[in-house]
């Protein structure tokens, strides 16, 4: 059982024969009471302080745990965000590469197709030019035959005027050559455009 200053103050002793001097005992007990009371109050104050410190310590421990948990969650969230960003960037790069490959393949196929068309049109033009030249030569031969027949049958002594006829043939040949040049230039422009792009 713990003693309080009040317990000491209220304590009564039995009086015995030839006992201690009552006044000395009372004075000493009073001194003990004062000292004990001071120590008791100091002890109570220290206990209260210790309780407050322990309470604060528990509070700070809780805060520390909360901060640690928050930091851990933040770390996990940052790691998750980094992984998601990496996956997303990889996917974007993959899609971009696939799209670029498709565009390049299509452009290449377009160039091949245009080259094929160019060669086809070129061959057709060469055939047309040859046929047209043959046609013009055949017409010239026909006109020459008609002229000979005319001279022979109608006794025409002077040759007919050839100037207009020759001019028309020259104009026709010139038109064919100009058409060839324009066609060649257009095809070269088209080929250059697709080579650059």
Residue 118, number of CB atoms within 10 A of its CB: 17
- Give the tens place of pLDDT for each residue, 68-84: 999 999 999 999 999 99
Cβ atoms of 168 and 143 within 8 Å: the answer is: no
How many distinct structural domains can be found in the chain?
1
- Residue 161 main-chain phi, psi, to 5 deg: -60, 125
What's the count of helices (H) and strands (E) in the chain, helices before strands? 3, 0
pTM of the full structure:
0.38
Q: Enter the tokens of residue 60.
A: 């700070």
Q: What is the pLDDT of residue 152?
A: 78
- Structural domain including 153 reads 5-10+19-196
Please state, rounded to an integer, the average pLDDT across all residues of the chain.
81
Q: What is the pLDDT of residue 197?
A: 54
- Considering 45-54, 111-120, 183-192, the range whose residues carry the highest mean pLDDT is 45-54
């Amino acid at each position: 059982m713990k003693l309080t200053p009040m317990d000491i103050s209220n304590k009564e002793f039995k009086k015995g024969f030839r006992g201690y001097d009552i006044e000395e005992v009372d004075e000493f007990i009073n001194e003990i009471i004062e000292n004990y009371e001071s120590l008791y109050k100091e002890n109570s104050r220290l206990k209260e302080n210790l309780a407050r410190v322990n309470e604060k310590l528990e509070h700070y421990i809780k805060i520390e745990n909360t901060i640690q948990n928050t930091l851990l969650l933040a770390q996990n969230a940052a790691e998750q965000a980094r992984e998601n960003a990496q996956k997303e960037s990889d996917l974007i790069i993959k899609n971009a590469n696939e799209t670029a490959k498709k565009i390049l393949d299509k452009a290449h196929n377009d160039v091949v197709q245009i080259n094929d068309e160019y060669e086809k049109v070129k061959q057709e033009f060469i055939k047309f030019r040859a046929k047209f030249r043959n046609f013009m030569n055949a017409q010239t031969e026909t006109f020459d035959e008609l002229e000979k027949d005319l001279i022979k049958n109608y006794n025409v002594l002077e040759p007919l005027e050839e100037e207009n006829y020759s001019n028309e043939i020259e104009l026709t040949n010139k038109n064919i050559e100009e058409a060839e040049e324009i066609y060649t230039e257009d095809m070269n422009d088209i080929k250059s455009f697709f080579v650059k792009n």
